[in-house]
Amino acid sequence: MTAALDRTELVVRTIAETTVANEKYFGDLDSVVGDGDFGYSLARGFEKVLEQWDDLDRTDAGVFLQKVAMVISSRMGGTSGPIWGTAFLRAGATAKGKEELGGADVVEMLRAAITGIKARGGADLGEKTLLDALVPMTDTLADHLEQGAQAQVALDAAAAQARESADATSELQARRGRASYTGERSIGSPDPGALAIAVLAEEIAKRWQDGSAPAAG
């Protein structure tokens, strides 16, 4: 197994396990102004990824991500399936064929995912979606890596930015999704998708440091 695939597995498994573990929390966040199914949808999709973990194609990191995308898209309900499926698909297409993935490659993968999410969801920054955490997080990661920071330092900074940006969505009015129907009532509570990005970024940074990647079981 290449180092690129090994680290990609770590990140995907962290995302999968964290979304399953936070099903109720993410659902409660969504129930404030949404329909409350966000946590359920994410958990079901990534639960299926964990179930099929040993059988996913590992030709390279890109192919692996694309297979994960297919599982997510087929199992994850609501608007989350197309959005998260597209993100993994675009990231995988960027990484496909590469045996090594450096910091610049990871940033390129994230930017490809962001472009895909914008196109699929018709959303942009400032509309109270996961993009309001994902974009600043990616920019922070890119800035630190370009300045020569070690991977762990860059990841920690990116996670901190994701959290700060996610919290700041409380001040925004939702422009997309079911929450947009509530108008100004959506102001005062954070976007669940943005908070999910923050939680995932924090957990990835934590596990990256200790290298934990529990075996499939």
- Stronger pLDDT, 45 or 183, i.e. the higher one: 45
Retrieve residue 2's tokens.
């290449």
- Residues 32 and 124: their CA atoms lie apart, in Å, by 22
| 95 burial via Cβ count (<10 Å: 0-12, 13-18, 19+) | buried
Mean pLDDT on 111-136: 93
Over 70: is that where the pLDDT of 138 sits? Answer: yes
Over 70: is that where the pLDDT of 211 sits? Answer: no
Residue type, 45: G
Q: How confident is the model at residue 122 (pLDDT cuts 50, 70, 90)?
A: confident
What pLDDT, on the 0 to 100 scale, is given for residue 34? 67
Which is the CATH superfamily of the domain at 3-210?
DhaL domain (1.25.40.340)
Mean pLDDT on 117-141: 93
Mean pLDDT on 17-24: 96
Directed axis angle between helix 151-168 and helix 192-210, to 10°? 160
Q: How confident is the model at residue 121 (pLDDT cuts 50, 70, 90)?
A: confident
The string of pLDDT tens digits covering residues 70-84 is 999 998 877 889 999
Over 80: is that where the pLDDT of 37 sits? Answer: yes
The string of pLDDT tens digits covering residues 46-104 is 999 999 999 999 999 999 999 999 999 998 877 889 999 999 999 999 999 998 999 99
Q: How confident is the model at residue 216 (pLDDT cuts 50, 70, 90)?
A: very low
Query: pTM of the full predicted structure?
Result: 0.90
Domain boundaries, the chain: 3-210
Mean pLDDT on 17-30: 93
Q: How confident is the model at residue 135 (pLDDT cuts 50, 70, 90)?
A: very high
- Residues 175 and 179: their CA atoms lie apart, in Å, by 8
Average pLDDT, the chain: 89
- Report in angstroms the alpha-carbon separations of 160 from 105, 154, 212: 21, 10, 20
Retrieve residue 47's tokens.
């639960």
